[in-house]
Chain A
Amino acid sequence: MVSLSYRQKRLLSQTIMYAVAAIIMIYCLFPIAWIFITSIKPPGAEFHIPIEYIPSKVSLDNYIEIFVEHKFHYYLLNSLVVASATTILVLAIGSLSAYAIARLRFKFRISSLLTILVVGMMPSIVMILPIFLIIRELGLMNTWLGLIITHAVFSLPITVWLLASYFAELPFDLEDAAKIDGYTPSSIYRKIIMPLSVPGLFSAGILAFIASWGEFMFALTLTHTIQARTALVLITTLPGAYHLKWGMINAGVILTLIPIIVIVLVFQKWVMRGLTAGAVKY
């Protein structure tokens, strides 16, 4: 057996380490890369045999087609409006409740928390028919608002959970001092807690945005036309004359994927904390 010096051993283990990390990375990224490669082939070329792993001709026609033929920008706008408004709404409602749960003393603290948290663990499909009827009754079918309210309800549990654990870590001395200075709970909340909680709000907000952007079931049932339908739902309903236009579908996937990739890479610390704190998918 060849004996290795300490240095060589170290080098070897370093190499293996990076090789493992790289293989897992390929495992995670390959399907996404493959979608991208398909999307930049000329329309129809995705069905050519043999398959080209590196396209011999690069074309943006699939992207142009989805914008021109299907007005994809309107659907992207719907997604953007719904996800942003959901984020703002859920932060407004959720931070108030999280504050009460984390910082105020009252009798039904744990039961209030549980009442909200359990929602995140329920299959949301159980509620889909009554919610469908409520939204229709309210005249909010096929509107942004109907989807925003629904998404906000199902983003509440994770938001309240993240914010409550964030608020709980802030030092209590702050409030005691403020109380002595005559601050009321609502002014403590506004003037002391809120400014200190920007990172927590940010983290919860990013998750609410990702969840709403990618939500499928409610978006499919509560929206029907270009007026309110979200981009991701459109992708699943793209028609094809003889077979599905996979090049165009993949172009749509890439377009809806970009915001998420940017968010995950730019805000990795915040996203990580939230995603590993619990299930964000409802």
Chain B
Amino acid sequence: MRFPSRKVFMKDWMVTSLFLLLSLVLVGYFVYVCIGWNVIVSLSDWKGLTPSYNIAGFDQYLSLFHDQVFLTSLKNNLILILLFVPGSLFLGLFLAILLDLKVRGEGAFRSIYLLPFALSFVITATLWAWMYNLDVGVINTLLEKIGLGFLRPMWVADPNIAMYCVVLALIWQFSGYTMLIFLGGIRSIPESQIRAAEVDGASGFDLYRYVVIPQLKAPALSAFIVLMVFALKAFDFIYILTGGGPGWSTYVLALMMFKETFRKNQFAYGGAIATILFLLALVIVVPYLYLSFRREKE
């Protein structure tokens, strides 16, 4: 028998670093260096097209908190966290329980349920914009048909409810995804446990309440993280559906950052918003990764 020599091990080490190098360089440059650069810019007074790295300290951040648009954006991200995240989770759980039955052709059903999530935000935002259309939108027309025509909400054109219309549409897109996550979780519960509970007389609601749902913590957590991160970074969908309007009623942090940077050339100001967004994302991601990789090591 021939054991790998020391030379092969040296080569091992070199090959490993080569294998990793390209990914790490790309990610390092395009992500980590960029984030750092962004922080520096956010501390400067760079406006307009010529770079300026004059240190302005926390001026940008201070003015952010006096900016009504920023406060509205922050509030709207909070609405996403408080309504969109639980909304998608609960609807997904509800749909998963409804579907936790042996249906023939389930594979086909599943891919149809997942379809909205696989679609680009460009497509889903466009189709919701068309459905919310005031005069010929299908939602208002259907309302009229069932005798609720007097309501005729203005949907995304009404600054008071526009953000909630965004939430509704997003829940539609993500509920298929959460449903499948929960369905996978339900299916991985051993059949014997369900049987045992049934023998003990648990059925219907109780079976789910006491046996199934408590075992869905892991899938719920991973879906929760995905949704939370999305609630922070939401951009495309809102940019296309409402453009932030009417007024700035549907602005979110990412949208405000984009407009400050690319429409107004307020690079330092945009950088400050981006930095805040980055820090908020860290608050969600770091504990999650810490928990899941600590478990992995054990």
Contacts and interface: CB of A to CB of B under 8 A. Distances in A.
A152 B25 CA distance: 13
Nearest to A186: B15
A88 interface: no
B2 interface: yes
Interface string A42-83: 000011111100000000000000000000000000000000
B58 interface: no
Given A213-B120, A236-B122, A94 B23 contact: yes
Contact of B126 (A189, A253, A268, A275): A253
A160 interface: yes
A230 B281 CA distance: 29
Nearest to A215: B120
A257 B99 contact: no
Contact of B24 (A50, A116, A235): A116
A106 B108 CA distance: 43
A192 interface: no
A125 B138 contact: no
Interface stretch (B6-14, B154-162, B188-196): B6-14
A143 interface: no
A110 B42 CA distance: 31
A170 B111 CA distance: 27
Interface residues of A, number: 93
A12 interface: no
A122 B26 contact: no
Contact of A97 (B1, B19, B108, B257): B19
B62 interface: no
B262 A221 contact: yes
A123 B281 contact: yes
B130 A38 contact: yes
B235 A125 contact: yes
Contact of B120 (A117, A180, A232): A232
B192 to A, nearest CB: 23
B213 interface: no
A13 B78 CA distance: 41
Contacts of A2: none
Taking chain B's interface residues, is the majority helix, strand, or loop, or is none over half, making it mixed? helix
Interface string A77-119: 0000000000000000110110111001010001010111111
Given A126-B35, A126-B38, A128-B258, A210 B118 contact: yes
B11 A153 contact: no
Nearest to B275: A126
Contacts of A215: 120
Contacts of B251: none
B38 A276 contact: no
Contacts of A232: 120, 122-123
10 contacts: A21-B99, A35-B130, A38-B130, A123-B233, A156-B26, A210-B118, A232-B120, A264-B118, A272-B111, A276-B184
Interface of B: 1-4, 8, 11-13, 15-16, 18-20, 22-24, 26-35, 37-38, 41, 95, 98-99, 101, 103, 107-124, 126-128, 130-131, 133, 135-136, 138, 141, 172, 176-177, 180-181, 184, 222, 225-226, 229-230, 232-233, 235-236, 239-240, 254, 257-258, 261-262, 267, 270-271, 274-275, 277-278, 281, 284-285, 289, 293, 296-297
Report, nearest first, the 8 A-B pairs whose CB atoms are least far apart.
A214-B120, A123-B233, A130-B34, A100-B19, A97-B23, A268-B111, A127-B34, A216-B236
